[in-house]
């Protein structure tokens, strides 16, 4: 049940961020559900590989390079879902990634109190 709730929350956050950020667009809530699914799969399978291969850069930058990896994951999702989800450039992907992570952490904090 938690997984479905987190999935729906992520889709709602993606939808909300597409209204706020002019460089990000999503074609409706079903598109946002698709984005949430693709992001979950990319974070599960692709992100660990990217983190492994960029470990020296991540260590040298004290973890800040992980922000670049997150932005790349967003751009990859945009490329995979080209008709549903579009991010204009790296900077919009970076801002989208930061805001998505921040909003998800707020909703996780709110749910942990119950």
Distance CA 18, CA 24 (A): 5
Average pLDDT for the chain? 94
| pLDDT for 108 | 81
Cut 0.75: pTM above it = yes
Both structure tokens of 47: 């992100």
Cβ neighbours, 10 Å, residue 111: 12
Both structure tokens of 39: 């992001």
| pLDDT for 102 | 96
Higher pLDDT: 29 or 1? It is 29
In total, how many domains does the chain have? 1
Higher pLDDT: 111 or 54? It is 54
Give me the domain span that covers residue 37.
Answer: 2-112
């Amino acid at each position: 049940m938690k997984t479905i709730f987190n999935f729906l929350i992520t889709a709602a956050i993606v939808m909300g961020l597409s209204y706020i950020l002019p460089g990000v667009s999503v074609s409706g809530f079903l598109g946002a559900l698709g984005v949430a699914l693709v992001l979950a799969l990319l974070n599960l399978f692709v992100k660990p590989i990217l983190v492994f291969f960029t470990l020296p850069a991540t260590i040298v930058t004290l973890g800040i390079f992980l922000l670049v990896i997150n932005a790349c994951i967003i751009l990859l999702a945009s490329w995979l879902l080209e008709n549903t989800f579009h991010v204009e450039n790296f900077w919009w992907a970076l801002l989208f990634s930061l805001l998505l992570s921040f909003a998800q952490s707020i909703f996780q904090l709110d749910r942990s109190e119950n």
